[in-house]
Structure formats: structure tokens, C-alpha cells
Amino acid sequence: MAAVPPVCEFGRKAADFSLPGTDGQPHSLSDIAGPNGTLVMFICNHCPYVVAVLDRILRDARDLQALGVGVVAISSNDAEAYPQDSFEKMIDLAEREAFPFPYLYDRDQSVARAYDAVCTPDFFGFNNALELQYRGRLDASRKETAADDVRRDLFDAMKQVAETGKGPEEQIPSMGCSIKWREA
């Protein structure tokens, strides 16, 4: 089922975390934060919206890291109900695709809840003071990859954040599969 996150709450502070990574190391927000901003992405292995743009996510992450933006991806899906999102499968995906950023597992879903993550992908772009400046889409892709020449919404917004500390006022929300929450 498709889900759409709310609009950006400008200035909202990034929630701290410490989660296990597919590289065998724990990672915290302070480990990830870049000198010019930080991008926290909620993704998962199986979501068709993520699969359609994974190459673009990796491209934009590399380009943003070159601008001094720290990047991390977090999977919070219930792996018991969705075994393709298990930590072991996350490790396989991160290695196969040579993720240039830590891919972290939020087993208890506390980090997704702290960020109010709604879907995969869900992008949270912070300035160097860890204040939210972007909560929009990657680009015009949906379950299918958009044309190669579409505007790079996420990259352009985070480049602006890296340069000015402020995100664009106009933002188009991301769309994706809802986070697969554990039964209470």
C-alpha cells in the first residue's frame, strides 16, 4: 500500500540513534553527520519504490557525500513478516550494490517512530545544525523509474542545504510502501 509522508517540519531536530550496520559496526547520528548536512533515508530491500530508484539513491548519496553531506540508510520493516527485509538480506544487498553509506537495522522500530517515518523511501535532510530542511522525494519516479533527465529533487535540495543551511520552501513529498510495523 502506498503511503505519503507529511510536509517538512522546518527546524525539527534530528533524533539521535545507535544502530547495527551491515558492515558489522554500530553507527550513531554523530558518526554519520556531515560538516554540511546529513541525509537520513528510510529504505528497505523489497519495496518496489526503492528498487525502482536504488541506482539513483546510490548516485545521489555519492554526489552529496562529495559536498560534505553525511548519508545513512535505515531499514525499520518487520523482518518477521517480510523476511526479504531481514538483516542478513540487508547485508547481501549492501555488499552486492556497494552501498557508499552505512545501512542500519532498526529492529525495534524506535528510530522510525522517533523520525515519524511513514514510507520507503522516506528522506530526511538536515543542515549542519541537524535541523530538518528537506522531507521530499528523490525525483519524479514512483514504482517505475522516471526518465533519465528528470529533476533531481533530493540532490538539488540537499546541495542547497549544504551551501546555505536552508532547504527549498517548495517540496514534493516522497511516495512509497508504508513502513511494515510490528504488531503491538
Span 49-68, pLDDT tens digits: 999 999 999 999 999 999 99
The confidence score (pLDDT) of residue 4 equals 81
Q: 21: which DSSP letter?
A: B
Domains of the chain: 35-178 (3.40.30.10)
Are 41 and 121 spatial neighbours (Cβ–Cβ below 8 Å)? yes
Span 83-120, pLDDT tens digits: 999 999 999 999 999 999 999 999 999 999 999 999 99
Q: What is the mean pLDDT of residues 147-176?
A: 96
Are 117 and 76 spatial neighbours (Cβ–Cβ below 8 Å)? yes
Closest by CA to 54, choosing from 70, 41, 64, is 41
The confidence score (pLDDT) of residue 1 equals 58
The confidence score (pLDDT) of residue 2 equals 74
What is the pTM for the complete model shown? 0.96
Q: How far apart are CA 38 and CA 70, in angstroms?
A: 5
User: Could you tell me what percent of the chain has a pLDDT over 70?
Assistant: 99
For every residue of 65-105, DSSP letters joined together read HTTT-EEEEEE-S-TTT-GGGSHHHHHHHHHHTT-SS-EEE
